Chain A
Amino acid sequence: MTTTDQPLLSVAGVTKYYGDRMGCADVSFDLWPGEVLAVVGESGSGKTTLLNCISSRLRPTRGSVHYAMRDGQSRSLFEMGEAERRFLMRTDWGFVHQNPADGLRMTVSAGANVGERLMAVGDRHYGRIRGTAIDWLGRVEIAADRIDDQPRAFSGGMRQRLQIARNLVTAPRLVFMDEPTGGLDVSVQARLLDLVRGLVSDLDLSIIVVTHDLAVARLLSHRMMVMKDGHVIETGLTDRVLDDPREPYTQLLVSSILQV
């Protein structure tokens, strides 16, 4: 994490209504370069709605999201054209879904899954694309000889690692993660978390990770936001929120963790 004067992402007053029903209300925060922010809360607390709003996958009812582009200019996401926004999403951003099948193309090979973003930005050299794919498979601990296998033949943990490689191949600066360890066994989770931790520090990534698992938040994030009923009820340093929770709900959440 480096100290800079400009936040990477600035979220102001983001509110989303589905008809009369509120998804999330009046959420504001800044995300700084190299920072990992965990959004925690139980199902229905609005954390996924928030993630979709700030990643421009969903248009909020109110509020704004500004992003510092690579040239340093701060741009309002919802004032960008769709072409530009989609370009941003497949170059400077990543999105890791809970279910790898939502983020992967299950019927094409692992190599093509990793290479797709490169081809999308105009790389037209097969050998080079394949070389980069092999390199990235290695970084997410997938053997090079699996490059031509389809993700259908992969275990859940491998699929999730493949999804991460597919997202990181264009060196994005911001990655959104929605319950990245959701469906995985505990030992597979640990491996994935460790991998993500390493990539964060090697690549100076900023991450917004939505999770209901406080252990994931503890291990990955610098800072935490606790959501309940669509509102952010507590926010702060991850270890501060977990070790000295203030709000009744946060205390309940923390005291509900199973201790091993």
Chain B
Amino acid sequence: MAAPLVLRNVRKSFTMHLRGGIEIPVVDGVDFQAEAGTCTVLGGPSGIGKSSILKMIYGNYGVDGGQILINHAGTTMDLASAEPRTVLDIRRRTLGYVSQFLRTVPRVSALDIVAEPLVRTGTPAKAARGNASALLNRLNLPQELWDLPPATFSGGEQQRVNIARGFITSHPVLLLDEPTASLDARNRKVVVAMIREKKANGVALVGIFHDADVRDAIADTVIDVSSFTARKAA
């Protein structure tokens, strides 16, 4: 397998048991691959299932059918059927994710939240904090905030912490769910530059970007997700 991430005929629906068991199809026949050193953008109107695809890749949503193959530590793994601890190991070492919203942890400082993915893979805490500081600095997060837990930060500040946390590792696959949505123009530029560096380092990125400027600046392939929703109920 050449591509680090391949989706084959992936299908997803929700069964709402609390509403009489109605089935809500989300996507069907999702088929694409993300190449190393490129950015694959999921396009299409909102509500079409773009975020759901990212969540399935990350293992956050279950998969009803198909395969999500990822190159992990030299072998090909199917995320759609992997054991939980395999998924956790893939997340730790291969697969990064910048979600739309930061899930804050009480009492943990912004700096430590950013440094955590490195610490978890064995980087000494001091070095990890150093890297985290550099990233937060680059993202123009005021230094006064670094030692505070981000629960009280503004949306844009939280988002920058989230981005720094996702970008701090050198995972070969990185998922981005609207990372620039709540950022100002200056910080959007920083994120675009950071994405370009990831591409230059051979990372395969898959992302959702509503901002056309950003999308045009970084997209190598745009995938129309509405083509995967053919069997959507009337």
Contacts and interface: CB of A to CB of B under 8 A. Distances in A.
Interface of A: 1, 3, 32, 35, 190-191, 193-194, 197, 201, 219, 222-223, 236-237, 239-240, 243-244, 246-248, 251-252, 255
Contacts, number: 59
B61 A237 contact: no
Nearest to A244: B61
A243 B55 contact: yes
A46 B135 CA distance: 47
The 9 tightest CB contacts between A and B, nearest first, are: A248-B17, A190-B106, A244-B61, A194-B107, A237-B84, A223-B84, A251-B17, A244-B62, A239-B60
**Do most interface residues of chain A lie in helix, strand or loop, or is the interface mixed?**
helix
Given A1-B88, A194-B108, A222-B84, A240 B17 contact: no
15 contacts: A1-B88, A1-B89, A3-B85, A190-B106, A193-B106, A201-B120, A222-B85, A236-B84, A240-B59, A243-B55, A244-B55, A244-B61, A248-B17, A248-B18, A255-B18
Given A237-B88, A243-B55, A244-B62, A251 B16 contact: yes
Interface residues of B, number: 23
A166 to B, nearest CB: 23
A226 B120 CA distance: 27
Interface string B9-33: 0000011111001000000000000
A197 B21 CA distance: 37
A87 B16 CA distance: 48
B230 interface: no
Nearest to B112: A198
A113 B129 CA distance: 36
B105 interface: yes
Contacts of A239: 60
Given A194-B105, A237-B84, 13 more contacts: A1-B85, A3-B85, A191-B107, A194-B108, A236-B62, A239-B60, A240-B60, A240-B84, A243-B55, A246-B15, A248-B18, A248-B21, A252-B18
Interface centre among B16, B85, B107, B108 (most CB of A within 10 A): B85
A246 B15 CA distance: 7
B61 A240 contact: yes
B105 A219 contact: yes
B87 A247 contact: no
A243 B14 CA distance: 11
Contacts of A236: 62, 84
A106 B61 CA distance: 46
Contact of A223 (B18, B61, B85, B119): B85
Contact of B17 (A1, A193, A244, A247): A247
A1 to B, nearest CB: 6
B107 A190 contact: yes
B196 interface: no
B199 interface: no
Contacts of A194: 105-108
Nearest to A35: B85
B210 interface: no
Nearest to A223: B84
Contacts of A1: 85, 88-89, 92
A222 B18 CA distance: 26
A248 B18 CA distance: 7
A193 B105 CA distance: 10
Contacts of A246: 15, 62
A164 B82 CA distance: 34
Given A1-B92, A191-B107, A201-B120, A251 B84 contact: no
Contacts of A193: 106
A190 B151 CA distance: 13
B59 A222 contact: no
A251 B14 CA distance: 11
Nearest to B14: A244
